[in-house]
Amino acid sequence: MPAYDFPQDLRDAQLALHRTRAAMEQYARTLPWSAEPMPGWEADKQLYSGYRSSKSDSPGYTPEQREQVEKYRAELLELSTTVMTHPYWAGLDESVVQARMVLQHAHEQPDSETV
Protein backbone atom coordinates (compact mmCIF):
# COMPACT_ATOMS: atom_id res chain seq x y z
CA MET A 1 0.00 0.00 0.00
CA PRO A 2 1.47 3.37 -0.94
CA ALA A 3 2.27 5.84 1.81
CA TYR A 4 0.41 9.14 1.97
CA ASP A 5 1.43 12.20 3.92
CA PHE A 6 -2.00 13.58 4.79
CA PRO A 7 -1.98 17.12 6.20
CA GLN A 8 -3.17 17.32 9.80
CA ASP A 9 -6.17 19.52 8.95
CA LEU A 10 -7.40 16.89 6.47
CA ARG A 11 -6.93 14.11 9.02
CA ASP A 12 -8.78 16.19 11.63
CA ALA A 13 -11.68 16.86 9.26
CA GLN A 14 -11.96 13.15 8.41
CA LEU A 15 -11.95 12.21 12.10
CA ALA A 16 -14.58 14.86 12.86
CA LEU A 17 -16.67 13.43 10.01
CA HIS A 18 -16.46 9.93 11.53
CA ARG A 19 -17.38 11.20 14.98
CA THR A 20 -20.28 13.31 13.74
CA ARG A 21 -21.67 10.45 11.69
CA ALA A 22 -21.46 8.12 14.71
CA ALA A 23 -23.16 10.71 16.94
CA MET A 24 -25.96 11.18 14.42
CA GLU A 25 -26.48 7.42 14.08
CA GLN A 26 -26.64 7.07 17.86
CA TYR A 27 -29.13 9.94 18.10
CA ALA A 28 -31.23 8.49 15.27
CA ARG A 29 -31.71 5.28 17.26
CA THR A 30 -33.62 7.29 19.86
CA LEU A 31 -36.04 8.83 17.34
CA PRO A 32 -39.48 7.59 16.31
CA TRP A 33 -39.47 5.40 13.21
CA SER A 34 -41.15 8.14 11.13
CA ALA A 35 -40.34 11.85 11.04
CA GLU A 36 -44.02 12.58 10.38
CA PRO A 37 -46.87 11.25 12.51
CA MET A 38 -47.88 7.93 10.98
CA PRO A 39 -50.26 5.20 11.98
CA GLY A 40 -48.79 1.84 12.87
CA TRP A 41 -49.29 -1.26 10.75
CA GLU A 42 -49.18 -5.02 10.89
CA ALA A 43 -48.17 -7.14 7.93
CA ASP A 44 -49.54 -10.51 6.87
CA LYS A 45 -48.07 -13.62 8.44
CA GLN A 46 -44.93 -14.94 6.80
CA LEU A 47 -45.34 -18.25 5.06
CA TYR A 48 -44.09 -21.20 7.17
CA SER A 49 -42.81 -19.13 10.09
CA GLY A 50 -45.97 -17.34 11.15
CA TYR A 51 -43.90 -14.22 11.87
CA ARG A 52 -45.88 -11.02 11.56
CA SER A 53 -43.92 -7.77 11.25
CA SER A 54 -45.46 -4.64 12.68
CA LYS A 55 -44.83 -1.06 13.73
CA SER A 56 -46.58 0.88 16.44
CA ASP A 57 -47.92 4.37 15.81
CA SER A 58 -45.22 7.00 15.30
CA PRO A 59 -45.78 10.39 16.92
CA GLY A 60 -43.30 11.98 14.49
CA TYR A 61 -40.35 14.14 15.44
CA THR A 62 -40.66 17.00 17.88
CA PRO A 63 -39.44 20.43 16.71
CA GLU A 64 -36.32 19.93 18.86
CA GLN A 65 -35.62 16.54 17.26
CA ARG A 66 -36.05 18.01 13.78
CA GLU A 67 -33.67 20.82 14.65
CA GLN A 68 -31.04 18.40 15.99
CA VAL A 69 -31.27 16.16 12.91
CA GLU A 70 -30.88 19.23 10.68
CA LYS A 71 -27.81 20.34 12.67
CA TYR A 72 -26.22 16.92 12.23
CA ARG A 73 -26.98 16.90 8.50
CA ALA A 74 -25.55 20.39 8.01
CA GLU A 75 -22.39 19.49 9.94
CA LEU A 76 -21.98 16.26 7.94
CA LEU A 77 -22.36 18.17 4.68
CA GLU A 78 -19.81 20.77 5.74
CA LEU A 79 -17.27 18.18 6.90
CA SER A 80 -17.77 16.02 3.80
CA THR A 81 -17.22 19.04 1.59
CA THR A 82 -14.08 19.99 3.54
CA VAL A 83 -12.62 16.50 3.10
CA MET A 84 -13.60 16.05 -0.55
CA THR A 85 -12.44 19.47 -1.75
CA HIS A 86 -9.22 19.68 0.26
CA PRO A 87 -6.30 20.99 -1.85
CA TYR A 88 -4.27 17.88 -0.96
CA TRP A 89 -6.20 15.82 -3.52
CA ALA A 90 -5.08 18.05 -6.41
CA GLY A 91 -1.48 16.95 -5.88
CA LEU A 92 -2.23 13.26 -6.43
CA ASP A 93 -2.35 11.37 -9.69
CA GLU A 94 -4.80 8.58 -10.46
CA SER A 95 -4.44 7.13 -6.95
CA VAL A 96 -6.91 9.62 -5.45
CA VAL A 97 -9.56 6.97 -4.80
CA GLN A 98 -7.07 4.71 -3.03
CA ALA A 99 -5.75 7.64 -1.00
CA ARG A 100 -9.27 8.56 0.11
CA MET A 101 -9.86 4.98 1.20
CA VAL A 102 -6.64 5.07 3.25
CA LEU A 103 -7.65 8.39 4.82
CA GLN A 104 -10.91 6.90 6.06
CA HIS A 105 -8.92 4.50 8.22
CA ALA A 106 -5.95 6.74 9.09
CA HIS A 107 -7.37 7.44 12.56
CA GLU A 108 -7.20 3.70 13.38
CA GLN A 109 -3.40 3.63 13.05
CA PRO A 110 -1.06 4.81 15.80
CA ASP A 111 0.73 8.05 14.88
CA SER A 112 4.03 6.22 14.51
CA GLU A 113 2.56 4.04 11.75
CA THR A 114 0.68 6.82 9.96
CA VAL A 115 1.30 6.86 6.24
Taking only the tens place, the pLDDT of each residue in 38-66 is 999 999 888 888 898 999 999 999 999 99
Tell me, what DSSP letter sits at residue 31? S
Determine what percent of the chain falls in helix, strand and coil, rounding each to the nearest 5: 55, 5, 40
Helix or strand run (H / E) with residue 56: none
pLDDT at 109: 74
Q: What is the pLDDT of residues 78-97, one digit of tens each?
A: 999 999 999 999 998 878 99
Sorting pLDDT into bands at 50, 70 and 90, what band is 67?
very high
The domain locations on the chain are 8-33+62-113
pLDDT at 94: 75
Separation in Å, CA 78 to CA 4, 16, 31, 73, 86? 24, 11, 23, 9, 12
Q: How confident is the model at residue 111 (pLDDT cuts 50, 70, 90)?
A: low
